[in-house]
Amino acid sequence: MGNITIRHATIVTVDPHRTIIPDGAITIERDRISMVGNDDAVVKAIKPDVEIDGRGRIAIPGLINSHTHMFQCLVRGLGDDMALIEWINRFMLKIIKVIEPEEAEAGAALSCLEMLRTGVTFILDNHHGKPTEKSVDLVASAIKTSGMRGLVARGITQFTDISGKLGMDPGGFPFTPEEQLKSMKRLLEKWNGAKDSPVKLSPAPGAVFACGDELIKECYTLAEKYRVPCHIHTAESGPANKLFRKETGQGEVTKLNTLGVLGPWTHIVHGIWLDDSEIRLMASKKAHHVHCPVSNMQIASGVAPIPKLLSAGVNVCLGSDGPASNNNQDMFGVMKAAALLQKVSTLDPKVISAYSVLEMATIGGARALAMEQEIGSIEVGKKADIVLVKRDSLTSAPSHRPTSTLVYSSLGSDVDKVFIGGHLLVDGGELMNADSELILERARAASEALFDRAKVRELLSN
């Protein structure tokens, strides 16, 4: 097959110059972008074999969801109106204790469809739903089957004194450190061996207070060896952070630095309760910040200091967080929340721009994966992960400023087409390769079975 050329689209490239091309064309050859430019210049230089009409569409790089827990779509809404520690103890640990691998997979398959349909092309799934080897395998396979790219960050946990003081149930920590490391190594060998594998694995210590020091260090060593992130929930809950500081005499990021695990492979997920010295530490060590604004608001965790992080030079990327604290994985909603939360909390409407937020959801995510040469922007030579968003939908027309449309007006349902590696996986808003009804039915059945075994039906009446 020859080239595919998307014509007459408004292209928001997210390249280093923040180039926007009002009447642009993108040529895709095999899995990569071979030309980007003004429509007339591109079609003068190359004869399109297949033309895609991009009129009334904004072309953006595929969105990168840098933090979610896909299985949680099975329990959407059950954790509403709880703060983090109650949410963990009264709800999530009960689910984690009993979830079966096939159920986690059913949730993951549905989450993949949700995200693909709404313009996500790369998923970082922090799988902590009783992550047995089989379960991790099935979740990674669900991403692969969907045609998306992804990283499954396997939750690794250990009951600690501080987890005990926070009232966490030891039963929610079913594996020994040795078991988890052995299984992590086997999974890394299996999934990260192939150079161009679309789905890889990485270690994810559950939280600084829910994983022992030695285990966190082992995780970081593995992350460095396999050149994948060490993805850690850090400084998310105010009360937990306060207790952590009282017990250890230092903040959570400072602690990671003391352990020697704050570096370019570290993902500080949430990073709300940071002091200024920790922001400087993150910048100097080139650690990444994974911001999840909707979840932070939903469970009232607090406001991450994004403007300070950005001005210190920290790379910030964006995640939906799991659908049990969001309660969906629509990155358009996450982008809007990321902008609005900073504006209202600083009382400064200029504190963050729509373009910065779009960068967090694209190239920022790519940098945090060390994949910025491959994905995250529409530039020649990169993988053809491209999303066309309608600018003439009822919620966004008339659209005058493309980045404003994308961040403040667009909904995930405005996504018209999604290409991943040059493959058209969503066309006219329809999923091309998936049996959505079957996947939905499996997820419904899995959640019903899970409610009974986890004994969480009482939460339905809240």
Which residues of the chain form contacts with Zn ion (CB under 5 A)? Answer: 321
Preceding peptide of 264 cis, ω within 30°: no
State the nearest-atom distance from the C-beta of 184 to Zn ion, in Å.
Answer: 19
State the nearest-atom distance from the C-beta of 299 to Zn ion, in Å.
Answer: 10
State the nearest-atom distance from the C-beta of 270 to Zn ion, in Å.
Answer: 7
Q: Which is nearer to Zn ion, 321 or 330 (CB)?
A: 321
State the nearest-atom distance from the C-beta of 163 to Zn ion, in Å.
Answer: 16
State the nearest-atom distance from the C-beta of 319 to Zn ion, in Å.
Answer: 7
Q: Which of 310, 318, 321, 339 is nearest to 403 (CA)?
A: 339
Q: Which is nearer to Zn ion, 296 or 409 (CB)?
A: 296
Q: Which residue is nearest to Zn ion (CB)?
A: 321
Q: What are phi and psi of 346, to 5 degrees?
A: -100, -5
Q: Which is nearer to Zn ion, 15 or 125 (CB)?
A: 125
**Which residues, listed in sequence order, are joined to residue 386 by a DSSP beta bridge?**
61, 419
Give the CB-side neighbour count of residue 59, counting CA atoms within 13 A. 32
Q: Which is nearer to Zn ion, 125 or 321 (CB)?
A: 321
Question: In 47-179, which ranges are E strands?
Answer: 50-53, 57-61, 63-68, 120-127, 149-156
State the nearest-atom distance from the C-beta of 67 to Zn ion, in Å.
Answer: 6
- The tokens describing 240, both together, are 């937990």
Q: Which is nearer to Zn ion, 278 or 321 (CB)?
A: 321
Q: Which is nearer to Zn ion, 341 or 425 (CB)?
A: 341
Helix 177-192 and helix 213-226: axis angle, to 10°?
10
Q: Which is nearer to Zn ion, 298 or 399 (CB)?
A: 298
- The tokens describing 229, both together, are 């992130």
State the nearest-atom distance from the C-beta of 236 to Zn ion, in Å.
Answer: 8
Do 442 and 113 contact (CB within 8 A), yes or no?
no
Residue 189 makes CB contacts below 8 A (sequence gap 6+) with none
Preceding peptide of 257 cis, ω within 30°: no
Preceding peptide of 241 cis, ω within 30°: no
Distances in Å between the Cα of 430 and the Cα atoms of 8, 214, 264, 417 are: 22, 47, 38, 8
Q: Which is nearer to Zn ion, 20 or 93 (CB)?
A: 93
Write out the DSSP string of 31-55: TEEEEEEEHHHHHHHS--SEEEE-T
State the nearest-atom distance from the C-beta of 322 to Zn ion, in Å.
Answer: 6
